[in-house]
Amino acid sequence: MPAIDRLFDQLLDRGASDLHLKIGHAPTVRQRGDLVPLAEDPIDEDSMHALLDELLNESQRQIFATEHDLDFAYAYADKARFRANYLRSTSGPGAVFRTIPTRILSADELGLPPTLLRLVERRAGLVLVTGPTGSGKSTTLAAMLSHRNHQAAGHILTIEDPVEFVHSPARCQVTHREVGVDTPTYPDAIRSAGRENADVILIGELRGAQTMRLALQLASFGILILATVHTNSAAATIDRFVNSFPAAQQPGIRGMLADSVAGIVAQQLVKTADGRGRVAVHEILVGNTGVSAAIREAKTSLIPSLIQAGGRDGMQSMDAALERLVAQDKITASDALEKALDKDSFVRVPGVAAKLPAPAD
pLDDT digits (tens, 9 = 90+) for 296-347: 999 999 999 999 999 999 999 999 999 999 999 999 999 999 999 999 999 9
241 and 141 part of one domain: yes
225 and 311 part of one domain: yes
23 and 87 part of one domain: yes
Whether the Cβ atoms of residue 53 and residue 126 lie closer than 8 Å to each other: no
CA dihedral of 135, 123, 309, 240, whole degrees rounded to 10: 50
Indicate whether 339 belongs to any domain.
no
Is 60 exceeded by the pLDDT of residue 361? no
**pLDDT digit string, tens, across residues 137-176:** 999 999 999 999 999 999 999 999 989 899 999 999 999 9
Across residues 278-292, what is the average pLDDT? 96
Per-residue confidence (pLDDT) for residue 111, from 0 to 100: 92
53 and 175 part of one domain: no
Report the number of distinct structural domains present in the chain. 2
Per-residue confidence (pLDDT) for residue 158, from 0 to 100: 97
For β-strands 154-160 and 172-178, DSSP reports them as parallel
pTM score of the predicted model: 0.87
Per-residue confidence (pLDDT) for residue 103, from 0 to 100: 85
Per-residue confidence (pLDDT) for residue 1, from 0 to 100: 66
151 and 211 part of one domain: yes
For β-strands 261-271 and 278-286, DSSP reports them as antiparallel
158 and 191 part of one domain: yes
Per-residue confidence (pLDDT) for residue 357, from 0 to 100: 87
Is 90 exceeded by the pLDDT of residue 102? no
Which of 75, 101, 127 is the C-terminal boundary of a domain?
101
Per-residue confidence (pLDDT) for residue 57, from 0 to 100: 93
Per-residue confidence (pLDDT) for residue 82, from 0 to 100: 93
Q: For the chain, what is the mean pLDDT?
A: 94
Q: Tell me, what CATH number does 87's domain have?
A: 3.30.450.90
Go through 51-74 and write b for each residue having 16 or more CB atoms within 10 A of its CB, e for each that does not: bbeebbeeebeebbeeeeebbbbb
Indicate whether 327 belongs to any domain.
no
200 and 161 part of one domain: yes
Which of 316, 331, 349 is the C-terminal boundary of a domain?
316
Which of 42, 73, 101 is the C-terminal boundary of a domain?
101
Per-residue confidence (pLDDT) for residue 182, from 0 to 100: 93
Q: Tell me, what CATH number does 221's domain have?
A: 3.40.50.300
Is 90 exceeded by the pLDDT of residue 180? no
Range of the domain at 86: 4-101
Indicate whether 119 belongs to any domain.
yes
**pLDDT digit string, tens, across residues 335-344:** 999 999 999 9
